[in-house]
Structures are given as structure tokens and as C-alpha cells.
Structure 1
Amino acid sequence: MRRLVAVELRRLRARRLTVIGLIGVVVGLAFMGYGMWDQARPLTTSQRQAATAAYNQARQDWLAHGDQMRTDCLAGQADARKTDPKADFGCDNMEPRLENYGKPRPRLDDLVPSGLEGAAYLVAFVAFVVGAGFTGAEVASGALGTWLTFEPRRLRVLGSKLVAVVSGTAVVGTAAVGLVLTTGWLLVQHYNPGAHTPAGLWSTLSGQAGRAVAVTAAAGLAGAALALLLRHTAAALGVVIGYLVVVEGLLGNRFSGVKPWLLQTNVIGWLEHGTSYGLDVCTVAPDGSYGCQTVRRAITFGHSSLVLAVVLAAALALTVAVFRRRDVA
């Protein structure tokens, strides 16, 4: 089995689609690194002058109309609290402050989490395409049938291919999140060397990085399995695009109650260790009027983990069952 995996890893590295995918990851990470740098760097002289001018203008408006602005704010807040007792418009903090018109110095907890999430989506997408291309091309070209004449034990062949995809994409995912973590740390050390690091932050970031790598490996595995089932790379990509448009897009927006079971929602819940979604709650008042409001509902990390695990396990079970019996010639 070990030698089979080594052979599949060499095949995976040699594929043109893998090389193109790696180039795409590097380019995408370069753009993300630029975005992190742009977020971390201090304002230029012209930007500081513009911010100061905006603050001075807001200060003049506040001195002239501040009392009325606060009164209007409190009135709006009182109206909102008729339906939401916790509504807070921040009416006591409306006075302009110069620090709010500048740019805060970078901190790890502000800079890195969004970068890790962006890297996870980027590398997971590439992993899915590479995984689908790896198995789909072999089925479509007939190479898989030829390979089975040399190694007829189908489950060993299937297992070696899936292990190769998982390990290969996991390595790329690890390198990507490691680069994001390093870039964020270097930027903070350069622009804000005395920044306070909250207790447990590195543990939180390490957990997020690990979950990003897991999503990458799962995406590669799902791509390889789906392409084996559908016998073609393009078919696997078409099914995923159709799912995103029809189920995630149309049905998810039309029926908010299905959101806890959608893949996109649960991927976010996995990466962010829990998330929430908006549920439309509509009621009919005694006077016959009809109204709706959006209520936030929490989705736990455990829920997201279970949904994703069940979907992936079902896909793998179906792939194994079909691959054992189907003619691949």
C-alpha cells in the first residue's frame, strides 16, 4: 500500500493541473499578502490630512447640531426597542473623536483570522479541482482500467489514490496557512512591535489553521470521489456549480429554514468554530397586518462538524460501493 501511495503521489505532482493549481495558490496568496500589508501599514501623509479634515468637519457639525442629533438618535432607538428591547444605537457615543478617523495599529487578532479564512477558501477550491482532475482524467482516458490490470485489488488502488490526494492537498494547505500566520506576525512586529497579544490567541489561531487544513484535505477528497463517481472532471465541477447556484443560492435564499443544513453554512461554522444565520420569522398581528423580521439563530461547531462528516462519509461510501462493481474500461 505504501508503494502504491508513493506512485500516486508522483502522478499527482506530475499532472499539469496540479502545477497550474499550485501557481494559482501562490498568486492568490500573494494578493492576500498585499491586502494584509495594506491593512497593516500606517496612513500616508495625504491620508492623514484627509482624515484630520474629515474629523474637523464632523466636529464643527457636532458643535452646531449635536444636541439635535442625539435627540433624533434616542427617538429612533426608542422606536426600535418596541420590537427589540436590546436595540442600542450608541447615542451616548456620537461625539466625533480623532482616533476614529485614523487607522488603528495592526494586531494579530485583527489581521490574521480573516487571512486564514480567505486562505482556506482559496486552497480548498484548488484542492477540489486538483482532486477531481486527478481521478477524473484517469477514468476518462482509460488509464485507470490499464492500471487495474497490474494491480487488480480495487480497494487498494482506490485507497492509494484517495490517500495521495488527501496528503498532497494537506501539505499545500499547511504551507498556505503557515505563510498567512508568518506574514501576519511579521507585519505586526514591524508596524506595531509592542502590540498586546490576548491570552489564548495563538491557541485560537492554531485551531483555525488546523481546521483550514482539514477543509482543504476534505475538499480534495470530495473532488476525487465525485470525479470517480461521475467519470469526468468537468462533470464533477458542473455538479458542484449547479449545487451552489440552485441549492445554496436559490433555495437557501428562498427558504431560510434550510440554512443549517447547507454545506456553505457548515463550512463557515467549521472554520469559525460556530456561526449563525438569519431566520425569517413572519407573524400576523391581531389587526390582520402581516410582518416579518430576521432573527439570528446559532449553529454550533458540533452541528457543523457532524453535517460535514456525514456528507463526506456518505460520498466516500457511495464511491467505494460503485468503484468495486463498476466497469472502468
Structure 2
Amino acid sequence: MNLYRAELRRLVKRRFVRYLVLAGLLVLAAVAAGTFLTNQKLDAAAYAEAERTAEREYQLSITWTEQWRAECERSKTSGGADAGQFPPDCASITPPPRESFLAEHYLPATFEFRDQFPATLHTFSSLLTLVFFVVGASFVGAEWTSGGMMNLLLWRPRRLQVLFTKLAALLTGTIAVTVPAVGVWTAAHWVTAVLRGDPDGMTGGAWQSFALSESRVLVLVAAAAAVGFGLAAIGRHTALALGGVLAFLVLGQSALGFLAELVDARYVEAWLIPTYWIAWMDGAVELSDWRACPPGGAECVPSTLELTWLHTGGLIAVTVLVVLGVAAWMIRRRDVT
């Protein structure tokens, strides 16, 4: 029997994997539905209603101001104990100008595809990265815990071949779910923009930029699955991958941030994983160093550091190679017991 097909079948048949992936996709569907329901197309009726709301708010501010001024005058006349909470001259209590109540401030939310869709990819990538990290960890971790891995290695004693065939099946499943999912995610938000927002402004360059962002999402999700797989293979238990990453994100990042502050690092954010995640998703992030600026609010142009998706890509590649390399080394040197 072909080992790759057997591992792919094993992945698909695992109930935990199916339920976890289904739960993740349902959450994404709920988010997309919520975006659709909470946005509205801006037509003439919406602008007219916003104008009426602005006028209503302006009239309310006039009424409130008059009441407050009358209370001020009564307090000043009677010499009440609360006179100190009013200005010395009650006539200075005036309502804001009508220009402060613009109709644009009262328009309902509308989904502008070109400006708002990239932010939705952050939600998409965060959820699927977490889902497939857990899937990758459980795929090999459960095999070691149940003894299935030991039985498989007795039948197919080529350890590295077994390990990397499992990884290939995992990545195949990850890509098979992520690619159509990101396609449906894009289509759902495009429909939202057409029916309840603004789809204008999309050029060939904008679509190409979105396609590159979605390809980076795919790489990120696949890398998370590979790292989860590798960590669980090293510890031969799913809990090691989950606990190790949790400890790194909570304790390790806190320690790195504290160390950066302690040594007075120029760009503290460059020590933190979320900065690289933003650079990966958005293409680049610019960090500023304000330490050289004099105190007292004097005008100053801080030095900057730009981190791009290439920096994050290098970090991802090194992490994946190191984790999988250690996993391969461990499975070669350790006896199957």
C-alpha cells in the first residue's frame, strides 16, 4: 500500500482533525456573515438619514447647552456650593458650531473592499494558523501516544521516510483546505462590497497585491502546521508542541521584551513576534526610535527601521528548518520503545 496515500487517508479520517477544521471554517463563516450584516450600502437615503441625525444631534446640543447655562446662572445668583464647577462667565457656555455635526459622522458602516479587505486577512490567517498548528501537532503526537507510530515503524522501518511522508500528507491537507477557503473568503467579502459596500477602485495592481497577501497567508498556515508537527515529533506528544509554543509566546516574549527594555534596545518592537507577523501580512512595518529626540516636545524626526515580509520570511524558514531538522535527528537516534 502506498505510504503517502495511507497517511493522507489517516489524516482525513481523524475525527479530531475534521471537527477542528470544521469548527475553524464555521467561525470564519460567522465572521464573514457578521461583516455582511453589519455593513450597509451608502445611497441617497442613507445620506439623507445621516443628515437628519446630524441635525437632531445639533439641536440636542443646543438644548443641553441652554440648560447648562441656565443652571450656571442660577448657581451664580444663589451663590450655591456648586458654583465652582461652572466657568466664571456663564455667557461663555455656547453650543458647538453646526459645522461640527457633519453628516459623514453619522453614516452607517460600509465595506470598502480595497481599503478594508486586507485587514480581514489578518483574522483569516490568525484562525487558520492556530487550527493547523494544532492539527499538525496532533497528527503525529497522537500517533506516538497511541502506539500507532511504533507499529508503523515496525512495518516500514525507514524512519525519515515515514516522518516526512506524514509531513507531506499534512501539508497536502493543509493546502487543500486553505486554498479554497481563502478563495471563498475573498468572494464572500467581494459580495459584501457589491451589495453592502463599495467595490470601486480595484485595479489589476490591487488584485495582484491581494493575491500576494493571500499567498503569504497560505505559506504562514503551512509553516504553522509544519512547526506544530515538528515540535510534537520531537517530544512525541501533542502537549509538548502546544505547551512549548504557549510558554514561548507568553513567557518568552515577555522576557524578550523586558530584556530589550533593560538593555535599552533601539527598537523594542523588533524583538517581538507580533511585529514580524504584521510585517508578513502587510508587506512591511516601520519602527521608530524616539530615544534620540530631546524631551519637552521639541520637533524631532526619529530614526526608523523598516521590517519587510522578507525578514519575516527568513525567520519562518529558519524556524521550520530547525524544528524539522531536530525532529529528523531525534527520530533517527532514538529507539522506538
Fold match (TM-score > 0.5): yes
How much does 1:167 deviate?
1.3
Matches of residues 52-131 of structure 1 in structure 2 within 5 Å?
52-53=54-55, 56=58, 96-103=101-108, 105-131=110-136
Distance 1:8 1:278 in 2: 48
Question: In the aligned structure 2, how far is the partner of 1:39 from the partner of 1:127?
Answer: 29
Match of 1:68 in 2: none
Larger Rg: 2
More displaced stretch, 245-254 vs 164-173? 245-254
| CA RMSD, 1 decimal | 3.3
Match of 1:168 in 2: 173
Q: Distance in 2 between matches of 1:177 and 1:148?
A: 36
Select which of 178, 191, 196 maps to 1:191.
Answer: 196
Contact 1:112/1:180, CA 8 A, preserved across alignment? no
Deviation at 1:40, TM superposition (A): 2.9
Q: CA offset at residue 232 of structure 1?
A: 0.8
Instruction: Note the alpha carbon deviations across 1:268-300, whole angstroms, 9 max, x for none.
Output: 211211123465627787x9xxxxx99763212
* Structure 1 contact 52–101 (Cα < 8 Å) conserved: yes
- Structure 1 window deviating more from structure 2 (188-197 vs 207-216): it is 188-197
Structure 2 distance, partners of 1:199, 1:228, is: 43
Q: What's the CA shift string for 1:175-194, capped at 9, x where partnerless?
A: 22112101111112223477
Structure 2: distance between partners of 1:198 and 1:53: 38
Is 1:13 the counterpart of 2:21? The answer is: no
Moved more, 196-205 or 165-174: 196-205
Percent identical pairs in the alignment equals 29
TM-score (norm 1): 0.77
Q: 2:286 aligns with which of 269, 273, 276?
A: 276
* 8 Å CA contact 1:252, 1:258 repeated in 2: yes
For 1:77, the equivalent position in structure 2 comes to none
**Partner-residue secondary structure (3-state), 2:138:** helix
State the SS of the aligned residue for 1:222: helix
1:325 aligns with 2:333: yes
Q: Number of matched residues?
A: 291
- 1:306 paired residue number: 314
Question: More displaced, 293-302 or 110-119?
Answer: 293-302
Letter in 1 for 2:28: L
Return closer, same or farther for 1:307/1:51 CA change in 2, 3 Å cut-off: farther
Cα distance in 2, alignment partners of residues 156 and 173 from structure 1: 25
Aligned to 2:219: 214
47-56 or 237-246: bigger deviation = 47-56
- Listed as ranges, the gaps of 5+ residues in structure 1 are 62-93, 288-292
